[in-house]
Amino acid sequence: MKRLDQQVAIVTGAGRGIGKAIASHYAREGAKVVIAELDKSLGESLARELNNTAAEALFVKTDIRQFADIADLCTKTQQHFGSIDILVNNAATTKSLDFFDITEADWEWIYSVGAKGLFFCMQRVGAVMKAQGHGRIINIASIAGKGYPATSNIAYAGAKGAVIAMTRIAASTLAADNINVNAICPGVTRTELYYEVVKGKIKTLGKSEAEIIELFDGSIPIKRSNEPEDIADLAVFLASKEARNVTGQSWNVDGGLVCD
């Protein structure tokens, strides 16, 4: 039997990067995967890809900034698969911004997805899990939320710090309902957002892409940045039976950048 056999998992922001890696790993481990993605072409493409491997996948176009979209996501998931066993709150956004360059619009944009949207996904799906009597919630935070200074910007760090705090409180609140809530805190990870940050650093530091990447990797004790699959491997464990007594934790995957 596979580790997530017949489990129903929602993954937000699943169209690319870490979310795509998690959705693919879950499908490989036997889960039925709901791809909650704002970009229709990316979401449909991944659903086709997973369904072609004999997995069961459903795409639901979702903007987690909208309460109606979150409600629709839950309804369609339950109608199609009958339950929601796992939620991975992965959707987030950022860009490279200096301290004095952050605007109110930047702040609202980052927090509306990375903190507000994440909470209301957790709240809505948590209600379904409470009624079922079980569930796993995995929030993708960041070592930026623990004060890692080389973050893309301070607003993003603040939003991820909020994710870590909400994870701990939600774990305590939902423990009696047999719902585990944990966070994964990636370090430097080679996703589309990573390369956007690299582009920003090229402009601010006046270095080439290769030099910026070497700078990033050189700062990591293990001298290796993450691939999305490194995060997905931990997400599988946290959703599996092996992690049944693990809750309220924030797990770093960062090559030793932060010891917390």
Q: What is the CATH number of the domain that holds 134?
A: 3.40.50.720
Does 88 score more than 90 pLDDT? yes
Indicate the pLDDT class of residue 235, thresholds 50, 70 and 90.
Answer: very high
Q: In 3D, which of 131, 58, 88, 78 has the Cα closest to residue 232?
A: 88
Helix (H) or strand (E) holding 230: helix 228-239
- Catalytic site residue from 26, 111, 148, 156: 156
Q: Is residue 160 part of a domain?
A: yes
Asked about 156 being catalytic, the answer comes back as: yes
CA distance 22 to 41: 18
188: CB partners within 8 A, 6+ apart: 194, 216, 217, 219, 220, 225, 226, 254, 255, 257
The b/e string for 69-103 (b: 16+ C-beta within 10 A; e otherwise) is bbeebbebbeeebebbbbbbbbbbbbbbbeeeeee
Q: Is residue 84 part of a domain?
A: yes
Q: Quick check: 156 and 141 in contact, CB under 8 A?
A: no
Work out the average pLDDT over 136-165. 95
221 CB burial (10 A radius; 0-12, 13-18, 19+): exposed
108-140 pLDDT, tens digit each = 999 999 999 999 999 999 999 999 999 999 999
Helix (H) or strand (E) holding 12: strand 8-12
Position 192 scores a pLDDT of 83
Q: Is residue 260 part of a domain?
A: no
- Domain containing 15 equals 8-189+227-253
CA distance 236 to 238: 6
Q: Is residue 204 part of a domain?
A: no
Tally of domains within the chain: 1
Q: Is residue 208 part of a domain?
A: no
52-73 pLDDT, tens digit each = 998 999 999 999 999 999 999 9
Position 260 scores a pLDDT of 85
Q: Is residue 115 part of a domain?
A: yes
Q: Is residue 209 part of a domain?
A: no
Please indicate, yes or no, whether the overall pTM of this predicted structure exceeds 0.85. Answer: yes
**Packing angle, helices 118-132 and 154-174, rounded to 10:** 10
- Phi then psi for 163, rounded to 5 degrees? -60, -45
Q: Is residue 59 part of a domain?
A: yes
Work out the average pLDDT over 25-42. 98
